[in-house]
Structure formats: C-alpha cells, structure tokens
Amino acid sequence: MRFEIASDCLTVFLDGEIDHHSAQGLRTQIENLLSNRQLQTLILDFADVEFMDSSGVGMIIGRYKTMAARGGILLARGLSPAMNKLFHMAGLHRIISITPKCIRRNHE
C-alpha cells in the first residue's frame, strides 16, 4: 500500500490481495493516516488489487463509516470488471461513489 495526501484528500493505492490476512493491517494503516488530520476525502484506488474477499468489503464499509462520521466522503477508483462486479454484489456502489479520476477541491 502506498498513499498520497493533497490538501484535504487522502488517496490510498491498494495492491495485491485484500483478504482476512491483510484487511486488519490495511484498516489500521488507513485509520492512522486519517487520525489527527483534517482530511475530508478518502479515495481507495483498486487498480492493482488482484483479489478481495468479505474481509476487504468489511474494511471498506468501516472506512466509509469513519469518513461519514467526520462529514467526509469515500470514493473508489480503478475497479477492474471483477472488482466492479464485487462492489455491485456487495451493494457498495450504493454508498460509495465510483470515479475514474481523482476529485480535487479548490480552497482558494
């Protein structure tokens, strides 16, 4: 996992497999990045994710709740056809916007 922070936007570039072995570590790392920052947008980039199971779905829902509690938003991008299908089967597309590009806010 790697990440970028720009203004109030955190982008997390996920990779490999998101399963019961990795989900807890990802959850902890993302929460640590969010703590003590005024971040209002969290983007999860799935372009390099090869597999995700229900633990990954749970991790995503948890980050959605974290962002909603702070008045922010969670976006997903880089979904392969298989990941897009999983998002729809799990109902994630109802609560998380799927975007092809980064959303940047102008604070001038």
The pLDDT score that the predictor gives to residue 49 is 96
Q: Is 22 helix (H, G, I), strand (E, B) or coil?
A: coil
What is the 3-state composition of the chain as percent helix, strand, coil, each rounded to the nearest 5?
40, 30, 30
**pLDDT averaged over 10-residue windows placed end to end, the chain, 108 residues:** 94 96 96 92 96 97 97 96 95 93 46
d(CA 75, CA 93) in angstroms, rounded, equals 10
Residues 6 or more apart from 60 whose CB is under 8 A from it? 44, 74, 76, 92, 96
CA–CA dist 107, 93 (Å, integer): 28
pLDDT at site 101:
58
pLDDT at position 67, please? 97
**CATH for the 2-98 domain, from 2.30.110.10, 3.40.50.1820, 3.30.750.24, 3.40.50.12500:** 3.30.750.24
Tell me what pLDDT residue 105 has.
45
Query: pTM for the full model?
Result: 0.90
